[in-house]
Structure 1
Amino acid sequence: MDLQLAGRKALVTGGTKGIGRAIVEALVGEGVAVAFCARTEADVKEAEQTLRGRGAEVSGTVLDVADGAALTNWVGTAAGQLGGIDIAVANVSALAAAPGEENWRASFEVDVLHAVRLVEAALPHLERSDAASIVTISSVSGREIDFAAGPYGTMKGALVHYTHGLAVQLAPKGIRANSVSPGNVYFDGGFWQSVEQNNPELYEHALGLNPTGRMGDPEETAYAVVMLASPRARRISGTNLVVDGALTRGVQL
Structure 2
Amino acid sequence: MEGTQRGPVTGWGRALEGRHCVVTGGSRGLGASVVRSLLDEGARVSVCARHAGRLDELNASVQQDGHPALFTRALDVAEPGDLAAFVDDAAAEHGGLHGAVACSGGAAGRGLGSATVEEWRKTWELNAGHAAALISSAAPHFRAVGGGSIVVVSSISGWKPGPQAQYGSAKAAQIHLVASLARELGPDGIRVNAVSPGSMLIPGKRWDRMRREDPRAYERFLDEFPARALVDPEEVAEVVTFLLSDRSRGISGANVPVDRAQNAPTPEGY
* TM-score between both structures, scaled by the size of structure 2: 0.86
Change (3 A) 1:56 1:112: same
Which secondary structure state, in structure 1, belongs to the residue aligned with residue 187 of structure 2?
helix
**1:236 and 2:236 matched:** no
**1:81 and 2:93 matched:** yes
Q: Using the alignment, how far apart are the partners of 1:56 and 1:234 within structure 2?
A: 26
* Partner of residue 30, structure 1: 41
User: Structure 1: any 5+ residue segments left out of the alignment?
Assistant: none
Question: Conserved in 1, the CA contact under 8 Å of 2:147 and 2:188?
Answer: no
Question: Conserved in 1, the CA contact under 8 Å of 2:45 and 2:71?
Answer: yes
- Which residue, 56, 61, 72 being the options, matches 1:45? 56
Cα offset for 1:166?
Answer: 0.9
- List, as ranges, runs of 4+ consecutive aligned residues in structure 1 with deviation greater than 6 Å: none
* Partner of residue 102, structure 2: 90
Report the count of equivalent residues: 248
Cα offset for 1:143?
Answer: 1.0
Which region of structure 1 is more displaced relative to structure 2, 47-56 or 212-221?
47-56
Question: Conserved in 1, the CA contact under 8 Å of 2:14 and 2:42?
Answer: no
* Partner of residue 107, structure 1: 123
Cα offset for 1:201?
Answer: 6.3
Q: Using the alignment, how far apart are the partners of 2:25 and 2:34 within structure 1?
A: 10
Deviation per residue, 1:209-236 (Å, 9 max, x gap) = 1111110111000011001111121110
Question: Conserved in 2, the CA contact under 8 Å of 1:3 and 1:227?
Answer: no
Cα offset for 1:202?
Answer: 5.3
Which secondary structure state, in structure 2, belongs to the residue aligned with residue 93 of structure 1?
coil
* Partner of residue 206, structure 2: 191
Change (3 A) 1:144 1:37: same
**1:168 and 2:183 matched:** yes
Question: Conserved in 2, the CA contact under 8 Å of 1:18 and 1:218?
Answer: yes
Which region of structure 1 is more displaced relative to structure 2, 77-86 or 100-109?
100-109
User: Structure 2: any 5+ residue segments left out of the alignment?
Assistant: 1-11, 265-270
Structure 1 vs Structure 2: percent identity of aligned residues?
A: 37
* Partner of residue 30, structure 2: 19
Which region of structure 1 is more displaced relative to structure 2, 92-101 or 33-42?
92-101
Question: Conserved in 1, the CA contact under 8 Å of 2:15 and 2:42?
Answer: no
Q: Using the alignment, how far apart are the partners of 2:83 and 2:52 within structure 1?
A: 16
Max Rg structure: 2
Question: Conserved in 2, the CA contact under 8 Å of 1:5 and 1:32?
Answer: yes
Quote the RMSD (CA, aligned, Å): 1.8
Cα offset for 1:129?
Answer: 2.6
